[in-house]
Structure 1
Amino acid sequence: MATTGTCKWLRPTSELEHYFDEAQNINLYLTSYMVTLSSVAPLQDDHVRKALLHLYRKVPTLRVCFRLCEGTLWACEMDKEEIDFQVIEDTDPRKVAEDMMVRFNSFTGPLWRARLLRAREGIQCPMPELQAAFPYTRSLVLANHHGIADGTSNLKIVDLFLQILDDVIEGKTINDEEQLGEWDVGEETKRLESKVEAELEQDPEYLQSLLDETRRVYMMPVLTVQALSPPEGGEVKTKVMIKDLDKNTTKYFLKRCKEEGVTVHSGFTALLNGSIVDILEETGMKQEAYHIKELHTINMRRYWSGDTSRSLGCHIFLFANNVETATNWRENFWEYARTVHKSLRKNIKEHSSLKQNYIKSKLRGCSFEALSLERKSGRDYSSSNMGNLDSLVSTDTKHVRITHLVRAVGNSPDGWQHNFHTFHGQLNYSLCYSCHLVTEQTARHFVDQLFKNLESVI
């Protein structure tokens, strides 16, 4: 990477931003959003282009690139105004999302891209109740470098795009000086990290127990890799499978989770674990119980004080969770789900993401330097749950609405990534799987098994 340029130098990157810049060089952790736009009149390509240009001007993180300065990676503002937008002939947003999760040029930017799919005849609005008012539907796929945005920031950006697009169609003047928010380096997270690290260092016995436990978990086999033979000559690429739960079943599942005293995330995690056990059993692996190695995404803003609504950037951490899953998990599923729920709540309350990050740095040096090792240690899956999106995406726009949204994350080295949320009363799910570790047949079978199990427990 070059060390010169005429851009505006903003600040040194955070460790997390550096981590994601290193990761994206091997196509890891790039995010993609498949957005369905339903409109009153046929959507014009130029309207979308203009809206994206205004978005670039109004969102500081969309103008960012990364450059080296005397050996330190800095965040900079791009040399010139530029967006990476194309109108393409592809008609399958899933395939477009897969192809878009490839590295960006960090030095020049932009660190995001957008692809508008050509209009197709006969495509129905995903929300039947809006079909008459918004009869025209097209897909837009957005992808970004994870170092500039997490799910929270991305949804703010998607919602702002929708509002701008509606105003562009209306012919309104857009105020480009008004910014969506500020690019926050995450000072409160840094303070929490320092506090947790100091507490661990002051308790050597507890610190040693965490080091020992982390080593023990790393030595545990990744069961999905152990039992499922990787495809021969599989491409190192992430592919995506999408599944929507109908509104009635979504309603029953959410209601049942509440009645049983667990979050939707805990209930769905329990189903993921149970479904993995089903797949392992089918391969001939026979154990009384299985230790599934989970990895969960947490929004660090939840620990911050004050108003975080204007905080842009990437402020997520990951934490591992390991709960024993019995072969006969179905016999008392909701009791098992409560065990998962208790473990997840404990990890969140005790800042396990910060503790685990510090332990990894003690064992293997800075986390961004450990990417190759992380690929070898692995986990059975990682997950990202954004909860209910209904309060995050506008529903009162006049000319165009977002009627469906699916998220994807490129995680080729790690095997399985589960993304889910609810939107317009439906649970939207995507499985991102690595072609060199998982066959399409196995991935499809898993998704079928997962949703069959979901319906059986409600």
Structure 2
Amino acid sequence: MDVLHMCIRKENDHYWFYKMDEEKIPLQVLKNQSPESVFGKETHTCIDSATGPLWRATYITSDETLKENNTFSSNILFTFHHAIVDGYTAINICNNFVKVLNDVIGGNVQKLYDFGQLNDGHETEELIMQRTEYLKMNPEYCTKIRGIESKFENVNLLLTEYFPVSKDAEKKTKYIHGELNEEITSNLIKVFKSKGISFHAGICSVFNWVLMDILIEKGLTNDEIELPTKHALNLRRYWKKSSSGQLGSHALFIRLLSKTDKNVGDNFWEYAKEFNKELKSVIENMQEIDLIAVKNLKYTSVERQYDDSLKLLEKVPPPPITPPSLIPHPHKTFYGTSNIGDISSILKGQRDNVSIKFLSCGTSIRNTTSNMIIFFQTLQGRLGYCMAYSAYLVTDDYANSFEEKLIKKLKFISNSK
């Protein structure tokens, strides 16, 4: 079923995807409005999932004077229900919209456009069951996995202590959008690569450095703390078949605990290399898959006996729109990241009649327990980012300070040798 024709309805105590009763084109046209303000409003406006569709578009025109080369700038915002897309697939669908717009302007409209079919994630479910069996056969490793989750969930949190939010703070998501130019982005990529560090690990190491500086400024006296962070992972990387056209929400968050000392800036490259090593290990060993799989096991006695005492829970098909990655978790993280990477292969931003000048992606987190999620991607050689933060968990002062220090440190790193 094409994702743009879907809605969600409840039947027999489960939610299911249905094809809409009638086709709708949810497009609104606005004039001379701030894209940032429209972005914020859109992410706080619910989608009628029972009627559908699970997406909408907002086109923002302007009175900008026509330029000499007959080009003009405008903004278009796509809003998607998370049930049908994750970061990867949202970009995929946007690419198809850009293609359609280019064809319309060029007068070469096709009769039919395929925006992609929904994948129900059965590959991931099969993998989870395989890992469940592996845990049954490897009790020591199973104990280790349980310990990792317990340690992460019980780590000492300092953010709310040093940046208290008033009890009557509005429960909404705020956003900070930005972009680094091609020179800085290119230098960052080169520097991290020369050190044997992935771009994601390098950027997130800088995030941790920023956090430590902010906490120290607020009075932190600890010589070393453990920073808990979460990092979005595209589950398609574990699928055996090609996933290029597999739409839907197929992501989960990697959990990391990083020992970070107050002098992290002085030994930054050693710190970043260790962060890179830990991140790579978690991904390659499918640790987050195992953290889901372990929930399929239970004890049948008070003693930790792993032979006959480990039993498989009865397998009940989960609701198709609530994958593990979207189930709320306790508020146990300073920030989360969603890095789509270099999206040039997904989004063709330079076409005959249309070109993309700026792209920003984000999500509403007002009803989740995350305090901040930083979205970033590289398009046409530029690093774009969107910081989404919960106004009832994080203060504006903290968010603004984070961005200011982040940009300063990224520029410093880009000039490193």
Provide the TM-score with structure 1 as the length reference.
0.80
Distance 2:155 2:263 in 1: 22
Any residues of structure 2 matched to 1:119-138 within 5 Å, and which? 119-121=62-64, 133=69, 135-138=71-74
**Which residue of structure 1 aligns with residue 55 of structure 2?**
112
Give the superposition deviation at 1:135.
3.1
In 1, Cα distance between equivalents of 2:326 and 2:86: 23
Equivalent-residue separation in structure 2 for 1:288 and 1:92 (angstroms):
44
Which amino acid in the other structure matches residue 285 of structure 1? L
- Cα separation, 1, equivalents of 2:234 and 2:323: 23
> Which consecutive unaligned segments of at least 5 residues does structure 2 have?
299-312
- Amino acid corresponding to residue 74 of structure 1 in structure 2: W
What is the CA–CA distance in structure 2 between the aligned matches of 1:332 and 1:384, rounded to whole Å? 26
For the 8 Å contact 1:120–1:138, the answer to whether it is kept is no
Q: Could you tell me how far apart the structure 2 residues matched to 1:357 and 1:168 are?
A: 45
- After TM superposition, which residue ranges in structure 1, 4 or more long, deviate above 6 angstroms? 369-373
Residue 260 of structure 1: how far off its partner (Å)? 0.5
Cα distance in 2 for partners of 1:379, 1:356 equals 17
Match of 1:400 in 2: 354
Change in CA separation of 1:242 and 1:252 when aligned onto 2, cut-off 3 Å:
same
Shift of 1:152: 1.8
Q: Percent identity?
A: 27
Structure 1 residue 436 displacement after superposition: 0.8
- Find out whether 1:87 has 2:23 as its counterpart: no
Structure 1, gaps ≥5 residues long: 1-9, 11-59, 124-130
Q: Which residue of structure 2 lines up, in the alignment, with residue 27 of structure 1? A: none
Distance 1:243 1:179 in 2: 32
* Pick aligned residue for 1:78 from 8, 14, 20: 20
In structure 2, C-alpha distance between the alignment counterparts of 1:249 and 1:133, rounded to whole Å: 29
Say yes or no: does 1:435 pair with 2:371: no
Pairing 1:148-187 to 2, within 5 Å after superposition: 148-176=84-112, 178-187=113-122
State yes or no: 1:198 paired with 2:154. Answer: no
Render the CA deviation track for 1:165-185: whole Å, top value 9, x for unaligned: 111112223222x52432111
CA distance in 2, matches of 1:169, 1:113: 21
1:211–1:359 CA contact under 8 A, matched in 2: yes
Q: CA-to-partner distance for each residue in 1:50-100, whole Å, 9 max, x for gaps?
A: xxxxxxxxxx11111111122221111111101221112462212211111
User: Superposed, which structure 2 residues align to 1:35-114 within 5 Å?
Assistant: 60-89=2-31, 91-102=33-44, 103-114=46-57
Matches for 1:363-374 after TM superposition, within 5 Å: 374=328
Match of 1:18 in 2: none
- What is the letter of the counterpart of residue 154 of structure 1? A
CA distance in 1, matches of 2:136, 2:70: 59
Structure 1: distance between partners of 2:343 and 2:186: 15
Q: C-alpha displacement at 1:374, in angstroms?
A: 4.6
- Kindly indicate which of the two structures has a greater share of residues assigned to helix: 1
Deviation (angstroms), 1:199: 0.7
- SS of equivalent residue, structure 2 residue 252: strand
Q: Which residue identity does 2:16 align to in structure 1? A: W
- Higher mean Cα deviation, 259-268 or 430-439? 430-439
Partner residue in 2 for 1:422: 378
TM-aligned CA deviation for residue 360 of structure 1: 5.5
For the aligned residue pairs, the C-alpha RMSD in angstroms reads 2.4
Q: Distance in 2 between matches of 1:250 and 1:372?
A: 31
1:140 pairs, out of 45, 55, 76, with 76
CA contact (8 A) 1:65 1:106 kept: yes
